[in-house]
Chain A
Amino acid sequence: MAVDEAIFRAGREIKIPPTIRFYGWKNPAVSLGYFQNAEREINCGYCRERGIDIVRRPTGGRAVLHGDDLTYSVVAGENSPHFSSDIVETYSIISTCLIRGLEKSGIDAEMVKEGRAGSGPVDAFCFSTSCRNELLADGKKICGSAQVRAKGIFLQHGSLLMDFDPAEVCAVITKDTGADTGTLERSVTSIRRSVGESVGMDTLCRNIAAGFEEVLNIRLMNGKLFPEEERLKDSLLKSKYRNTRWNMGQGSKSGH
C-alpha cells in the first residue's frame, strides 16, 4: 500500500511513466477505505486472533479481505494518452483491460451496468456492493476497484478474487459469527469458483498484464522504484502504514 501511494505521490512531483503493479499478500489482511474506522467497521478482535493485518488505503470505498486475491494498481497522469481525465471513463478503460485478461483465463466478465446496494450485516464489505464499471462474472462480483486523484494524477487499485470464503468474510466484517453467508454466496464469485484450479496466480497475473498490453496497445516493461519513490515509500511506512492510528482510521486522517 505504501508503494502504491509512493508512486502516486512521486508522480505529482517528478515525471514518471504510467505504472502498473500486480501483487499478492504475504499475510491475510483487511484493507479499509480511507474514511472507514476499523473499530466501527470490522471485527478487530477476530483479526487479532487470526493474525489478520489491518491497513487503511489512500482510496475510498469499503473493506476488502486480501490473501486469496491478486491486487493490481495503476498510476498515471490524467492527461496520459492511454487514460482519461474523466473518472468513469478511466474505470471503463481499466475494466476493459481486466476483462481481456480474464477472458484469456477462461472467464467471461462484464462491467456492472446498474449498481447494487449493500447487503445487510456485511455492508462494510467492498464486494457486498457493486458500482458502475466494476466487474461481474456469472452475474457475481469478481473484482472491486477504487480510485484516488490529486494534482492531475490518479491511482486506481483493485482486488481480483482468486478464491472466496464467505464465512471468513462474515467473521472479519461483522461481529456476528453466525451471520448468514447466503447473500455473499449469491453475489460474489472468484477465479476458482469460475474455472477451478486451471488458472493459478502467476497465470492470472500474466493474462491480466497481457490484457493491458492488448487493449492499450502498449508493451509493459519490468521496472524498479525510482529513488524518489523509494524515499516516499519509506516515509509513508513510517507516517502511515506502520502507524496503528492511521491503519485503524483513528483521529485526524489528513496530512502526510
Chain B
Amino acid sequence: MSFPSDLVYSREHTWVRIDGDIATVGITDYAQDTLGEILSVELFPEDSSVEQGEPFGVIESSKVTTELISPVSGEIIGVNEDLSDDVGILNSDSYDTGWMIVVNLRDLGELDNLLDAESYADYVEEYEEVD
C-alpha cells in the first residue's frame, strides 16, 4: 500500500496536497482498497464551504456507502468532473487523476491536525490491529 511522502493525511483516510493556501484532496490507497469497487461518488459543488471533520461528499462502493470527511476547512474552488465519467479512477489512481476537490484554505493552522506519510502508515497499521 502506498502513501506518498509529499502528501499529508487525515485519520478519515483522505490525502491532502498543499500548495500555499490551496489544498487538493482525495482518498488514500487504504481507503480505496478497504471500500472495494467504487460505484458512485457525489461531491459538494464548487463555491460551497467545507469544514475540517465534516462531510464534503458521499461515496458508494460494492460494500458500503460512506461519507467523505473533509481534512481541511475552506471554500471548494475545484471539483474533479472526470469522476462523473469514470469513477473507477478512484480505485486505479487515487493519488493523481482520482483527486476529488480543491479547497481554498481558511485556516492553515488546522493542517497541524493532519499526519505525515509515516505517521499515517503507522495509524493504518494500528487501526488494522485493533480489529
> In the complex, which of the residues B42, B63, B64 contacts A254, with contact meaning CB atoms closer than 8 Å?
B42
Most chain A Cβ neighbours within 10 Å, of B57, B58, B63, B130: B63
Closest to B35 in A: A87
Secondary structure at the A interface, as helix, strand, loop or mixed, is: loop
Pairwise interchain contact B66-A150, C-beta atoms closer than 8 A: yes
> In the complex, which of the residues B40, B63, B67 contacts A147, with contact meaning CB atoms closer than 8 Å?
B63
A148: interface (CB < 8 Å): yes
Residues of B within 8 A of A86 (CB): 131
> In the complex, which of the residues A33, A34, A85, A254 contacts B131, with contact meaning CB atoms closer than 8 Å?
A85
> In the complex, which of the residues A79, A88, A150, A252 contacts B130, with contact meaning CB atoms closer than 8 Å?
A79
Kindly provide the distance from the CB of B24 to the nearest chain A CB, expressed in whole angstroms: 19
Kindly provide the distance from the CB of B84 to the nearest chain A CB, expressed in whole angstroms: 12
Pairwise interchain contact A148-B69, C-beta atoms closer than 8 A: no
A186: interface (CB < 8 Å): no
Pairwise interchain contact B42-A60, C-beta atoms closer than 8 A: no
Pairwise interchain contact A85-B58, C-beta atoms closer than 8 A: no
Pairwise interchain contact B60-A89, C-beta atoms closer than 8 A: no
- A contact residues, range: 20 to 34
In the complex, what distance in Å separates the CA atom of A148 from the CA atom of B58? 10
Kindly provide the distance from the CB of B38 to the nearest chain A CB, expressed in whole angstroms: 11
Closest to A149 in B: B66
In the complex, what distance in Å separates the CA atom of A91 from the CA atom of B35? 14
A253: interface (CB < 8 Å): yes
In the complex, what distance in Å separates the CA atom of A146 from the CA atom of B65? 8
A252-B45, A254-B55 in contact; A148/B131 too (CB < 8 A)? no
Chain B positions near chain A (C-beta within 8 angstroms): 12, 34-35, 39-40, 42-45, 55-58, 60-67, 69, 127, 130-131
Chain A positions near chain B (C-beta within 8 angstroms): 33-35, 58-60, 79, 84-89, 91, 131, 146-151, 154, 252-256
Interchain Cβ contacts under 8 Å between A and B, 12 examples: A34-B65, A35-B42, A60-B40, A85-B130, A85-B131, A91-B63, A131-B62, A147-B65, A148-B66, A253-B42, A254-B42, A254-B44
Pairs of residues from A and B, 5 with the lowest C-beta to C-beta distance, nearest first: A60-B60, A60-B65, A150-B67, A35-B40, A148-B65
